[in-house]
Each structure stands twice: as C-alpha cells, then as structure tokens.
Chain A
Amino acid sequence: MELTDNIRRRSRTNNRFRYLVIAGSVITIIPIFLIVGNLAVKGYRQINLAFFTKPAPDTFQAMMAAVNGEIIPGGIANGLTGSLLMVLLASLLAIPLGLMTGIYIYENESKKYARFIRSLTEILQGVPSIILGIIAYLWIVKNITRGYSALAGSVSLTIMMLPLIIRSTEETMRMIPLSIREAAFALGTPYYKMIYKILIPVSFSGLATGVLLALSRILGETAPLMLTALGSPAISFDITRPVSAVPLLIWDFYNDPNMVNLVWSASLFLMVFVLSMNLLARSVASKHKYI
C-alpha cells in the first residue's frame, strides 16, 4: 500500500510540474500577443498614404484634429528619411569594417592579439546604447559638427552595429568546411582571392543574416539618437544638421498629449518593420543551412 501511495504521489507532482511549465510558457508569450494586438487595433486608423509622405504635424494641427475627432493630418516622413539616412551611413561604415574584422579574427585565431580583439568586441556588444550616445556626442557633436547632427547619430549606430556584424561574420566563417579552403589553396589560389571568391560568396547568406539582424537592432534604437541626432520637424538630408528618426518621432509624439493617436501608428509601423526584418533574417538563415 505504502509503495503505491508513494508512486501515486510522485506521479501527481510530476503532472503538476508539467502543467506549471506549460502555464509558465503560455504566460511568457501572452505579452507578445497583447503588444501586437494593442498596437494593431489602435494604430491602423492613422496609417494611410499621408502617414508615409507627410512630415510630422505641429501640435496645434494635431489638437484641432483631436478636438474634431478627425484623423491627425501629417505622418512620419521626416522620421523615415532621417532613419534611412542614418542607418544607410552607419551600414556603409559598419558592414565593411565589421566583415573585415570578423574575417581577421577568424583567420588569426591562434594569435593572442586576435583573441584580445574578440574579447573587446564582446565587451563592446554589451555596452548600453545610451553610453554610445554619450560617446558620439563627445566625439562628433562637440568637436566635429558643433551641434546635433545626423553624422553623430550614424556614428553611435555604427558602434552598435560593428560588434554584431563582427560576431556573426566570425561565426559564419567558422561553419565553412575546412575542405573548401584547402581545395582553394591546393589549386594555388592567392589568399585575397580565397577571401573574395570563396569565403564571402560561400557564406553569403550567413553574412546577410547577420547584417539584417544588426539592422533590425539599430532601426528601433532611440536612446543614443536623443543625445546625437536630436530630431527635426522637417525632412533633411544634411548630415551635419539634426534629423529625426522614426523612434525619435515616437518619443516626441509620446511627450505631446495631442499626438497620442499618431504614436500608436508610428509604434505599429516601427514594430512591424523591425519584426519583418527579423523574420526575413531568420528565413534567410534557415534556407541556407548547408554551410
């Protein structure tokens, strides 16, 4: 009797624990449905053509629209162009530099110096983004552009992107079979050709995944841009002047009670954009698993 009681008790706790794990997992993913649902329901109304083609409205226009129960005129065009400008500039700097550094670390793994650079990259990856904002402020805003500027914003985003790309490049290179490299060397391929014609093309999808994930990280970044790009009500492509960005616009709208409806839409847009980029990166990665 005692034995069966014991077994029954153990099997009961076993089942209870199983349900606990399932319940905990369900609770964990509830927020994602709540966030996506909330933003979709409250944000879709403002998303129309003007949302993408018109710059942000001033607070008076927004107030009038809110009072009359209309859709707030204007959109996020100044944020879109600013984000595009800064992300493009950051990519131009960070992608080549990150790829080369990643390849360097992979190729010189046996050297102490390369391992040191790898540790530095790991530390750099953990630096809170707001600190990179301070750095870009001290370097660019204070000394080079003498005022808030798109360039300073790009520099902070570049420093964020670099470690992400270096790490993903190194990890991708690691997955290339040694035999491919050996075959190239056996045919007398020079070192640089081996990199340009073998390493990079073979690992292209892996590298693209890394770049896309890095882009999706910096696209939603707000804190460093507050200290560097500042924001601007007009569409501007001058890298020595302040520009806006989509996350900066969300911050501005958030601080203006008249713009609440626009925040829902801008947040919805930013989230959908970043998440689709994320999913795209993952699908690129899963399609090319063979390397």
Chain B
Amino acid sequence: MSGDRITKGLLFLSSLTILLLSAGIVVSLLGGALQAFREFGLRFIISPAWNPTAGSEEYGAMSFIAGTVITSILALIICIPMAFSTSLFIAEYFRGTRTSGILRSLVDLLAGIPSIVYGFWGFYALRPLLVATGLTDQGFGVFTASLVLAIMIVPYATSLSAEIISMVPAELKEAAYSLGATRREVIFSVVIPSARSGIIASFILALGRALGETMAVTMLIGNANVIPKGLFAPGNTMASVIANQFGEASGLKMSALIAVGLLLFLITALVNYLGKLIIKRFA
C-alpha cells in the first residue's frame, strides 16, 4: 500500500507547485511594484506622464493602459466580421464537409505562427501597403498594430464560436426551416440568439489574448510614451513598453514597469475570468 501513498503524495505535491507558483507571481509583482505605488500612489494609474530623466522622474501608466485598450478593442472590431464569417462557414454553411475541415486547419495555422514573425511580416509587408494608401507617413501606429493583432486573434475567436454554433440543436433550426425561413433568417433568428452568450465569450477570450500580446505590437505601434492621438498615431501598450524599456531600467523606473506589468496582469485576468464565467453559464 505504500506505493499508493507515495503516488498520491507526489501528485498532491505537484499540485502544490501550482499554488506556490500563482502565489509567488502575485507576491513578486506586488513587491516589485511597491516602490512605484509608494512614490506616486494611485495617481500612477491615471497619470499619463512618463519621464525617466534623473531628478525629475515621474511615471504613470495611463498612456499604456490607453494604448493597450485602444489597440485591443480595435483589433477585436476588425476580428469580429472575420471570425464571425469563418465560424458560420465552418459550423453552418459547409458543416462537416472537406472544405470546412481545410478552412479550419488554415485558420488554426494562423494561431501557430510566432508573434515575432507576425511583427516582422507586418513591418516589411503590411506597413508599406498602408503607407501606399496615403493614410499614414511612416506606417507605424495604433491601426497597423491592431490590424496584425486582429489576424493573430482570429483563430481563437473562430474555434470557440464555431464549436458553439455547431452545438445549436438541429431541431430548432429545422423547426424554423419548416416555417419557411431562409437560411439567413434561421441564422439570425435561431442560431445566433441561442449561441449568443457563447459567441460573446469567444470574443472576450480573444480580447484577453490581444491585451497581452507583446512582440508584434512592439514592432508596429511606433513606441511613443503618450496616449495615442489618432488611429494612425504612434503609442505604446503595457506589454510593449515593458519589452522596450525593461532591459535598461533600474530603481524607480523598473518598479514602475513592474507596476505596469501588475496592472496588465489584473486586466487580463479579469477579462479572461469574465469570458470563462459566461462560458460556464452557457454550458
């Protein structure tokens, strides 16, 4: 029987590491951020100042919170029509066909491409196209970053939406067809209403991915420590400012960057929790 007890003990111990790891992450972020919060108080969250000049150092996270929220929401807006049509294609129009399987694999491939490759491709292939439209001089900025982000989060929104749409009971749809509804009418009056919360959850989870995305955004957003002034203006997100400045930071600046990380952690955890909550309700 001792083998049993050892096994059970080992399994329990390994589960403890998750507990320690999670606690450690929160404690370390809080500890690292302490200096910045002690210095600036809650003003750190609402201040858009970011001045690393020695002597007049002042840090605030608002520019980056704004940058993160704007790019992520814009990415989500661009992503919704794409993910919506692909999930209808996969789970409704071409359900169970080979075409649907191929499309699903292609969309899944988008999730496999590393972030840095997206960033590089966006820089050398997409940016010149945007410059050619005349809307922007340099091609850097919120819109470019959001466009690439949108492509990156499409697979996450699609796979979950498609799964939920395919779970809509056939009887419901058949009942609507038998009343003479067209396919579009069935989709809008039966499929979407009954899958609504699941579809919303899939988009919230996709948003959660967009919030923390680092490399592609860092390479495309233009890296200016200000609240973006327009769609084509440069900015910085919480993740990109950490990626850009952590390496040469020390003292108060490092603490401020860790505080930005803590805020990012809280925002993504909240968004993901919301998404999971809706899904659990749905299931």
Mask for B1-26, Cβ within 8 A of A = 1, else 0?
Answer: 10110111011101101110110110
**Would B120 and A254 count as touching, CB distance under 8 A?**
yes
**Which residues in A have their C-beta under 8 angstroms from that of B7?**
191-192, 195
Across the interface, A10 reaches (CB within 8 A) one of B11, B185, B257, B264, namely B185
CB pair B184–A192 under 8 Å, yes or no, is: no
Quick one: which of A23, A135, A219, A267 contacts B25, CB cutoff 8 A? A135
List B contacts of A113 (CB < 8 A).
15
* Smallest Cβ-Cβ distance to B125: which chain A residue: A38
Which residues on B sit within 8 Å (CB–CB) of A17? 183-184, 187
Is the Cβ of B14 less than 8 Å from the Cβ of A250? Answer: no
- Nearest B residue to A226, CB-CB: B243
A120-B18, A263-B120 given; A127·B113 CB < 8 A: no
B114 x A100 contact (CB < 8 A): no
Interface hit among B77-85, B168-176, B189-197, B225-233: B77-85
Partner of B151, one of A31, A39, A192: A31
Considering only CB atoms and an 8 Å cut-off, how many residues of chain A contact the other chain?
A: 79
If the complex has contacts A23-B85, A32-B106, A135-B25, are A191 and B247 also in contact, measured as CB distance less than 8 A? no
Choose one: B114, B119, B247; the contact of A227 (CB below 8 Å): B247
Given contacts A10-B182, A31-B151, contact A274 B84 (CB under 8 A): no
B211 interface contact, C-beta 8 A: yes
B65 within 8 A of A: no
Does A101 contact B116, Cβ atoms closer than 8 Å? no
| Neighbouring B residues of A32 by C-beta, 8 Å | 106, 109-110, 113
Q: Known interface pairs A29-B107, A130-B239, A135-B28. Does A220 touch B115 (Cβ–Cβ under 8 Å)?
A: yes
Query: Which of chain B's residues have a CB closer than 8 A to the CB of A131?
Result: 25, 29, 212, 261, 264-265
- Are A270's CB and B117's CB within 8 A? yes
Docked CA distance A133–B4 (Å):
38
* A230 to B248 CA separation, bound complex (whole angstroms): 12
Q: Smallest distance from the beta carbon of B166 to chain A beta carbons, Å?
A: 15
Size of the chain B interface, CB-CB below 8 angstroms: 82
Which residues A251-276 have CB closer than 8 A to chain B? 251, 254, 260, 263, 267, 270-271, 274-275
| Contact, CB under 8 Å: B117 / A271 | yes
- Report how far A260 CA is from B124 CA in the complex, Å: 10
13 contacts between A and B (CB under 8 A): A24-B84, A29-B107, A123-B22, A127-B268, A134-B32, A192-B6, A220-B113, A222-B214, A226-B247, A250-B120, A254-B116, A254-B119, A270-B116
CB contacts (< 8 Å) of B58 on chain A: these are none
B92 to chain A, nearest CB (A): 8
Task: Evaluate whether A134 and B242 lie within 8 angstroms (CB atoms) in the complex, with A121-B18, A191-B4, A274-B113 already known.
Answer: yes
Q: Is the CB of B83 within 8 A of A254?
A: no
Evaluate whether A227 and B265 lie within 8 angstroms (CB atoms) in the complex, with A24-B82, A35-B113, A267-B121 already known: no
A residues in contact with B118, CB < 8 Å: 35
A13-B184, A135-B25 known; A221 vs B15 contact (CB < 8 Å): no
Task: Return chain A residues, CB-CB under 8 Å to B109.
Answer: 32, 275, 278
Answer whether A250 and B116 are a contact pair too, CB < 8 Å, given A25-B89, A28-B86, A28-B107.
Answer: yes
